Structure 1
Amino acid sequence: MASATFFTTIALGQQAVTPYLPTHQEVIASYKKANDLDSALRNIAVVTNIAPNWQPKGETFWYRKALDNRKQEYYLVNAATGSRKKAFDHERIASALSKLTGTAYDAQKLPFTDMLFSEDGTAVTIKAGADWVKCDLNTYTAEKTSKPDYRAYNPNLPLQQRTYRWEGSRSRDSISPDKQWTAYAKDGNLFVKNVSDGHEVQFTTDGTSTQPYGGFVWSPDSKNLIGYHIDPKKTKEVYYVLSSVTGTTRGELKSHEYDQPGDDFTSYEPFIFNIATKAKLPFKTDKIDFFGTPKLRWREGSTRYFTYERVDRGHQRFRVIEVDVQTGNTRNIIDEKTNTFIYEQRIDTRYLPKTHEILWVTEEDGWRHAYLVNDITGKQQLITKGNWVLRDIDSVDAKKREIWFKASGMNAGEDPYFMHYYRIGFDGKNLVNITPEKGNHSVTFSPDRKYFIDTYSQVNVAPVITLKRTADGKKVTDLETADLTSLLATGIKLPEVFVAKARDGKTDIWGVIYRPAFMDPAKTYPIIENIYAGPQDSFVPKSFSAVNEMQSLAQLGFIVVQMDGMGTANRSKAFHDVCWKNLADAGFDDRILWMKAMAAKYPQADINRVGLFGTSAGGQNAAGGLLFHPEFYKVGVAACGCHDNRIDKQWWNEQWMGYPVGPHYEAQSNITNAAKLKGDLLLIVGEADENVPPESTYRFADALIKANKEFELLTVPGMGHSDGGPYGRRRKRNFFIKHLLNAEPPSKNTGEM
């Protein structure tokens, strides 16, 4: 409940500031203003990106530009000349299509998503509804036609897709590359049959129906077969009940397979089977007991050696292992070990078979960087280096021996999370920043990668969209520069970027502040933190957005903030390692210091009235704030939280909490610590959540009840993993109004909103 101090005037230095504590009628007025502002913002177009539709030859593209009041227009760009013009006369083409199809087309709201321009630009073929129409752009006469024979190019796909290191289950039968042999399992054992004469050879006798051989892969020369003696473990199931299925009078029980931390995994003991000698050789290394059978990569020009990747369970060791099929001997080409964790999903290996090299991205030196590894000698050479983060490899040019990548933290004086695009030689020389402008950059390339579209902005700086040449990064032409005049005329306040020191007194913590549009500088406003401390990424917005939930929530009389504390990703390895076996930490020490620094600078921020909300891992964090830091956080809304890391999914939780499951799992559980609750808590859960089992929330509620704690629980029938949808978000806002503003929220039931 609201503290009595909320009702007193707070003296801040020489300035007297009164807490904002609206009446019920003022809250209703705030809701109306907020809704009116949301409606106004939805009708104001701020161009934050474009979707280029490259034409077949790759030198021209068209795009659709959003205008105010949900209108739009189309532009055609010639990348070679830099010309940009309206794609056609919108009035005339709307008239032509209306006349041809009998459907009225609004020239200001043309709904085109598929268009192909002729090479000379004098005609365009458009998908209009279910029809394809060709329109002469000189006369604006239109006729129905057939679908053009071309394949649309998706510029958002990377040039080179990463290959996943595990291939999973395979067919039981496997035909050799020379088509002479078929390998298969029968009664759990490996058999090989000669295709020509049907002669069958049994290779194993110790296989059974419960522990069979399988996962067969041939060597390129068909002389050897790789297979596994498998010890299967059934994945256990989790359950939920759909309570309100239309047309039924009973709940419907649902189940699905779901690995949880500590569950047994299927294991695979690998062997080499020689077709000529009938020999069975084991790999001279550990049994594979994590994930599934690996992808095998045969050395270029050799049928004797192959490699595979292995991550040990517990995420503390990663290897690229070479196998000699003649002896079964193995050699670790890459062998990375750590006392904390290796972020498995961000291990990136790119194989260059012709030069016997591997590009390997790792945090081994304390920052995420790229290495060049010789897969014969094992020699490693650091390509990128420095106190910054290689975020992702876009592509590898093996001929030019260059890496194209995106990174953050390299540019001094900038937000260290801002993304920029670079290229560099394999030797670590000739680093080029092709997106040097200050801001957070997003890039898409033309089909031949001769040009790229660079979109950059900051959370409070309007987007700029330019066309550039890839060879030298030089600008060809500006495409769009967002105009914020209409947006700012609504009175909305753009967010502020705020930086404060972390718990170590040295590290910068970056965040954003959203304020009400109609803020009274003589009053103090409660602080609400939007929290998500999941270690898999960073979460504070870096690019411009005219509308988001934080901005909308602020309009009701709150200062809404978000920051990335220690334990989240995209900074140094040491910054990230704070989460190791320590998810309950959630960077709270950094977050609290950040908000206290903000309140010290801005007296309108009421540090005595602080709430927080979050979803999924953020739901765990939101509840954790009330349990572990009740002296600071007073109100929390936790949606579909993973309140005990033993209940949530195996792959996510073991990545950060480690394996085997130890006592630290229980010690950090919200359920175990339920009796510590002091603030006001709203729990939200969808009954059909298949991401985080609903019982995570229900068990937490059960523990709170047994501890005789008061809280609110909202279960949304039929809903999956979410914040409760529009209804849940309204309940969340009302909860904050009631407990942080000490006001009665408007009632839908009585027509107050």
Structure 2
Amino acid sequence: MAIPLTLAATLAEAQSLEGGKQALTVERLYDSPDLAGKSPRQLKISPDGSRATFLVGRADNQHFYDLWQMDVASGKVSVLLNADKLAQGELSDEEKARRERQRIYGEGIMEYAWSDDGKALLIPASGKLYYYALAEGKAKLLPTGNDFITDAKLSPKGHFVSYVQGQNLWLLDLASNKVTQLTKDGGGAIKNGMAEFVAQEEMGKMSGYWWAPDESAIAFNRVDETPVELVTRNEIYADGIKLTQQRYPYAGKPNVLIQLGVIALADNNISWVDIGKETDIYLPRVKWLPDSKHLSFEWQSRDQHDLDLRVVDVTSNAKPVSLIKEHSEAWVNLNDDLHFLKNGDILWTSERDGFNHIYLFDHNGKVKQQLTKGAWAVDSIDHVDEKAQWIYFSGRKDSDVEKHLYKVKFDGSGFSKLSDKGGMHSAVFADNKAIYLDYFDSLAQPPQISLHDDSGKRLAWVEQNAVKQGHPLYDYAGLWQLPEFGSLKAEDGQTLHYRLFKPVDFDASKKYPVLVRVYGGPHAQLVTNSWSSQDYFTQYLLQQGFAVFQLDNRGSGHRGTKFEQVIYKQLGVAEVEDQKKGVDYLRTLPWIDSERVAVYGHSYGGYMALLCLFKAPDYFKAAISGAPVTDWSLYDTHYTERYLSNPATNAEGYRLSSVMPYVKNYQSGLLMYHGMADDNVLFENSTRVYKALQDDGKLFEVMTYPGSKHSMRGNQVKTHLYKTITDFLERKLQ
């Protein structure tokens, strides 16, 4: 029996979109301008709080970004820097891979950083570096040589620029233009100042070096990839095949060897931090303390059961001290919520009580107080105001399917919610002024940005993005469908949230086919009150007479450890059972044709689509599987071993979590697609299923995309992909 999800249902019912009733076409879904209108990214506030800055895609090319600004005092919005003034060219293979890890796609200005005094910006473009002084109003090319650079940073006080070039760390003195090479042995398997593959892909660690606050030193990782298996992959493009050698750490196989060094900039001498005798570990986070004398690093065991926050005095040869230890019999999730306070106390988030909450520790690592509590999760600490003793954070106290901004005092008092509108709120705070930018979206509101004071009061719109005449969505908004939310019970009694979109011109006397759109993997949610470009295709299907259903099964994110960790040591069991619960509910609806149910997902969702079709063929008539993991021994160490442990100790779990034992159950109705240059979920995952089905004489459909990576970027690729899926669904379900 379905249970109404009261808050989200009320919010969805209270909001609606008004506008024209022009029908969507597949070609329009991802054409320019974006249906969402202006959706700025890379939001920042200048250190002095005088300007809000952000990147905006152009009307004629939504993937080409210029740098914009809003004057906080006047509210005037204008272009700060036109990307045409910077070099545009081919990216290096290293930068392409890094952007794929960051899920960054586009051209023009993609990144920028403010100087500490708010008088200048550092802007990388096509492997070059530009310094934009506000007083001069122009971008100056910095003398970094001809080789491609990546991961450039302004030093904390703005005197230097650091960057990685040729797998070494370099330094540019802005006053003299003197360039210094800080490390010398980078190249081949050795990478200095760079994060390794799994750190970028699975840990959210995109950099491999960190400035001391007083500019006296730089901490950095030295990564030796020699132990990692060197794989020769065929990246298949339309005009040829590129043989690519990649160090890919398959589950159970060796990882990189990692060291943590500190470069003293007074003499460029390198000292090495004692990270312990055990070498088969991870260093997912590194952070300086405010005094620039102590450096912290998070030590994570290979099995990810243990996470240890350690601090070392870099001015001596002292052994690092362990301050905070986290342990789980399943796994410990990583976050970015470590804050060292000037009085020596430490703010840290932990799931030790089953939900991610904020804790205050003393300088010895002893808990002073748990500052947030309850059966809900903190998403992130967004800002710490030490003077006023306020912690601003995002969390799910009001609803599992929404994210709101809250604040609480250092002593746990004064807890309050700052955001008001129902949906998803992400805040960007000024460093030295009590203001923040609120990036907000909901099912009925494309992303909009507003400026607020520290009480939550809106001061100005940066981009209201109202859907009115002239907005890209307006002509289509009259047919835009909002879902119904509800909840079901899993076999173990835990609550599962769903959302159900009815077709356009819904007629309760008719029977409709339904597409179950699934992801199902850890850390993710589909059932939210949020705007997503992924829903454009959903809206198109609704106009073609399909219903669309989404359910977040056990194992997905933001619901606490009991909900998430049920998948430990065997994937694809609880997840599939929960999706079947969803179909059981759909079968109770008189307007759903239970004989015409398909499932579609990409990545983990592609894995889920295969399992649903293979393990529950009586529930699903057809499946579309995109870039699926089909055998977890083909995926990387950090992600796979987090959930399945090591294949040496859980061989049966790996076997049963693969789709391969269930291929024999396949009857009919499968479409698979994969990018032929995917370096994340390797193409071999799909070809193994192809061969098994062919050996069994089973018929299925395949679409491959030359040159496409895992994210399937590009308007032409997406247009073809969604035409292919629509054609398949119409043939199989109509």
TM-score by length of 2: 0.66
Letter in 1 for 2:464: E
Matched-pair contact (CA < 8 Å) for 1:642–1:696? yes
CA deviation vs aligned residue, 1:416-456 (integer Å, no higher than 9, x gap): 23111122222211223221333322334467544334354
Deviation at 1:268, TM superposition (A): 6.8
**Offset from partner CA, 1:184-218 (integer Å, 9 cap, x none):** 99xxxxxxxxxxxxxxxxxxxxxxxxxxxxx999x
- TM superposition shift of 1:570: 0.9
1:290 aligns with 2:281: yes
DSSP 3-state at the match of 1:578: helix
Instruction: Give the direction of change, closer, same or farther, for the CA distance of 1:257–1:727 in structure 2 (3 Å limit).
Output: same
User: Aligned partners of 1:329, 1:65: CA distance in 2, in Å?
Assistant: 47
Structure 2 counterpart of 1:613:
600
2:479 matched to which residue of 1? 492
* 2:330 equivalent to 1:340: yes
How far apart are the structure 1 equivalents of 2:705 and 2:503?
30
Contact 1:582 1:657 in 2 (8 A): yes
Structure 1 residue identity aligned to 2:727: N
- Which of 632, 638, 658 lines up with 2:645 in the alignment? 658
Unaligned 5+ residue runs, structure 2?
Answer: 1-21, 63-67, 80-107, 110-133, 141-152, 157-163, 171-181, 186-207, 214-218, 263-270
Kindly provide the amino acid, as one letter, of the partner of residue 594 in structure 1.
Answer: G
Code of the residue aligned with 1:310 in structure 2: it is W
User: Which of 598, 613, 629 is the aligned partner of 1:642?
Assistant: 629
For 2:484, give the aligned amino acid.
Answer: V
Q: 1:626 aligns with which of 613, 637, 654?
A: 613
- Percent identical among aligned pairs is 22
**1:55–1:673 CA distance, 2 compared to 1 (3 A):** closer
Alignment of 1:142-161 (within 5 A): 148=137
TM-superposed CA distance for 1:543, in Å, is 2.2
SS at match of 1:526: strand
1:338 maps to a residue whose letter is: S
What is the root-mean-square deviation in Å for CA atoms of aligned residues? 5.0
Aligned-partner SS, 2:228 = coil
Return the alpha-carbon distance in structure 2 between the equivalents of residues 493 and 297 of structure 1.
48
- 1:364 Cα shift? 0.9
| CA shift for structure 1 position 636 | 0.5
* Partner Cα distance (1:319, 1:38) in 2: 49
- Residue in 2 aligned with 1:675? 664
Q: Does 1:316 align with 2:305?
A: yes
2:354 to 357, 366, 369: 366
- For 1:140, the equivalent position in structure 2 comes to none
Distance 1:216 1:603 in 2: 59
C-alpha separation in 2, matches of 1:626 and 1:518:
30
Distance 1:308 1:733 in 2: 49
Measured after TM superposition, the shift of residue 564 of structure 1 is 1.5
User: Does the C-alpha gap of structure 1 residues 740 and 263 become closer, same or farther in structure 2, counting only changes over 3 Å?
Assistant: same
CA contact (8 A) 2:576 2:608 kept: no
In the superposition, the TM-score normalised over structure 1's length comes to 0.65
**Match for 1:373: what amino acid?**
F
Q: Shift of the alpha carbon at 1:333?
A: 2.2
2:227 alignment counterpart: 234
1:200-211 superposed matches below 5 A: none
**Does the CA-based 8 Å contact 2:484-2:501 persist in structure 1?**
no
2:558 to 570, 581, 586: 570
CA distance in structure 2 between the partners assigned to 1:351 and 1:659 by the alignment:
34
Report the residue type matching 1:631 in the other structure: D
SS in structure 1 at match of 2:605: helix
Q: Per-residue deviation at 1:698?
A: 0.5
Aligned to 1:646, the other structure's residue is in SS state helix
- The 3 A distance-change label for structure 1 pair 467 and 459 is same
Q: Which amino acid aligns with 1:527?
A: V
Offset at residue 366 of structure 1 (A): 0.6
Of 705, 708, 727, which aligns to 1:719? 708
Does the residue aligned with 1:348 lie in a helix, a strand or coil?
coil
- What residue identity is the alignment partner of 1:237? L
Preserved contact between residue 373 and residue 379 of structure 1 (Cα < 8 Å): yes
Partner of 1:119: none
Indicate how the Cα distance of structure 1 residues 669 and 464 shifts in structure 2: closer, same or farther if over 3 A, else same. closer
What amino acid does structure 2 have at the position aligned with 1:420? H
Q: What SS does the corresponding residue of 1:468 show, helix, strand or coil?
A: strand
1:424 aligns with 2:415: no
Check whether the contact 1:323–1:331 (CA below 8 A) recurs between aligned residues. yes
Q: 1:399 to 1:55 in 2, by over 3 A?
A: closer
Q: Is the 8 A contact 1:38 1:552 kept in 2?
A: no
Whether the aligned pair in 2 keeps the contact of 1:265 and 1:291 (CA below 8 Å) is no
Please report how far the alpha carbon of residue 271 of structure 1 lies from its aligned counterpart in structure 2 after TM superposition: 13
1:474 to 2:457 alignment: yes
CA displacement 1:350-404 (0-9 Å, x = unmatched) = 233x433322111111100111222326345312212211101112223333322
Counterparts of 2:324 and 2:78, CA distance in 1: 53
Per-residue Cα deviation, 1:716-753 (whole angstroms, up to 9, x for no partner) = 23322245633232222111111111xxxxxxxxxxxx
Q: 5 Å matches for 1:157-172?
A: none
Q: CA deviation at 1:318?
A: 0.9
Write out aligned runs for 1:445-464 (5 A): 445=429, 448-460=432-444
State whether residues 343 and 655 of structure 1, in contact with CA within 8 Å, keep that contact through their aligned partners in structure 2.
no
1:637 Cα deviation (Å)? 0.9
Partner of 2:688: 699
2:658 maps to amino acid: S
Contact (CA 8 Å) 1:369, 1:385: kept in 2 or not? yes
Pair 1:686 & 2:675 matched: yes
Q: Which amino acid aligns with 1:336?
A: E
- SS of the residue corresponding to residue 608 of structure 1 reads strand
Does the C-alpha gap of structure 1 residues 424 and 48 become closer, same or farther in structure 2, counting only changes over 3 Å? farther
* Residue 328 (structure 1) shift: 7.3
Alignment correspondent of 2:243: 253
Corresponding residue for residue 738 of structure 1? 731
Distance 1:147 1:170, change over 3 A: closer
Quote the Cα distance in structure 2 between the aligned partners of 1:270 and 1:39.
46
User: CA offset at residue 649 of structure 1?
Assistant: 2.0
CA distance in 2 between counterparts of 1:648 and 1:654 reads 9
8 Å contact 2:515–2:548 — kept in the other structure? yes
Contact 1:393 1:405 in 2 (8 A): yes
Describe the superposition over 1:123-182 as per-residue Cα deviations: whole angstroms up to 9, x where unpaired: xxxxxxxxxxxxxxxxxxxxxx9962699xxxxx9xx9xxxxxx9x99899xxxxxxxx9
Residue in 2 aligned with 1:538? 525
Structure 1: stretches of 5+ with no match in the other structure: 1-31, 89-111, 114-144, 152-156, 161-166, 174-181, 186-214, 221-225, 273-279, 742-753
The DSSP-based 3-state class of the residue aligned with 2:569 is coil
Count of residue pairs brought into register by the alignment: 575
